[in-house]
Structure 1
Amino acid sequence: MPADIVSPATRSRMMSGIRGKNTKLELAIRSALHRAGFRFRLHRKDLPGRPDLVFPRYNAVLFVHGCFWHGHECHLFRWPKSREDFWREKIGKNIARDLAQYQALADSGWRVGMIWECALKGKARLPFDEVVDQCSIWLKSGIKTFEVSGHEARPVI
């Protein structure tokens, strides 16, 4: 197993700086959707997974997911070379928890949308306005689930 290139204290400081909510991407999406006239609640604790954006009027929730932490198979995701067993277990649990939370939301009558980091960053990113437009269209539609990732925006039926 390759050694880490930084000290444990430095790694700990770096990892503690990673945000779980109010990320730059989430703030950008929130701002754009608010400008488009959508009103929402943030991180509702009474809903499974504490969705990033909750649109009660549209009975919809929206998650803005980081590709690494949620195991998205895209160009931004790479399995770490150190502590492989730890990371595979951690990210695997994240994926399983996400799926259970999406199902619980759907079972409660919520429509679930996901915006992946790769839709807004990296070589496969989409134009920001296109991502916001696709979200707007989905929110106004009756489509149950929605996903935006690099190079594509699609309803999941």
Structure 2
Amino acid sequence: MSRIRGKDTRPEMLMRRGLHGRGLRYRLHGKGMPGRPDLVFPGYRAVVFVHGCFWHGHGCSLFKWPKTRAAFWKNKIGRNVERDREATAALKADGWRALVVWECALKGKQKRALSDVLDGAEAFIRHGRKVFAEIAECESIDKRAS
């Protein structure tokens, strides 16, 4: 697992390039912030997480429980999901707004058009009133309970 990239993943780079092209400037991997968000927009008090569907236990078409070492993976992914919830709650408490862009929104058979994902992210960052939002694939199926 040491070779698994945590930063500069393909979905993250798509979001970074797209949002930068729309004139949004950000800081990377907010050191000292809960959950170390991938993109931090201090002027808007907004952060963006780009989550991989497997590592963060998203119940979508890209997520599938491994058949080997099932208990290990359920425990590991469960801890990741709990850590995500804690980070989001801490950010909300500090007055930040959080957007989660799931990998399945940018990859797979049911992905959204990149322009639609970027439109949603830009609207959340610049004009959003919600404290928390998610952008995922067109049709999400929850498989986490299995």
Alignment of 1:1-157 (within 5 A): 15-141=1-127, 142-151=129-138
Paired with 1:46 and 1:134, the residues of 2 have a C-alpha distance of: 27
Unpaired runs of 5+ residues, structure 2, are 140-146
How many residues align? The count is 138
For the aligned residue pairs, the C-alpha RMSD in angstroms reads 0.9
Q: Give CA-to-partner distance per residue, 1:72-91, whole Å, 9 cap, x none.
A: 00010010000000000000
Calculate the TM-score normalised by the size of structure 2: 0.92
Amino acid at match of 1:67: C
The Cα shift of 1:143 comes to 2.0
Q: Kindly provide the amino acid, as one letter, of the partner of residue 93 in structure 2.
A: D
**Residue identity (%):** 51
Letter in 2 for 1:145: F
**Hey, what's the Cα distance between the residues in 1 that align with 2:15 and 2:63?**
21
Supply the distance in 2 between the matched residues of 1:57 and 1:44 (Cα, whole angstroms). Answer: 14
One-letter identity of the residue aligned with 2:51:
H
Runs of 4+ with >3 A deviation? none
Matched with 2:144 is: none
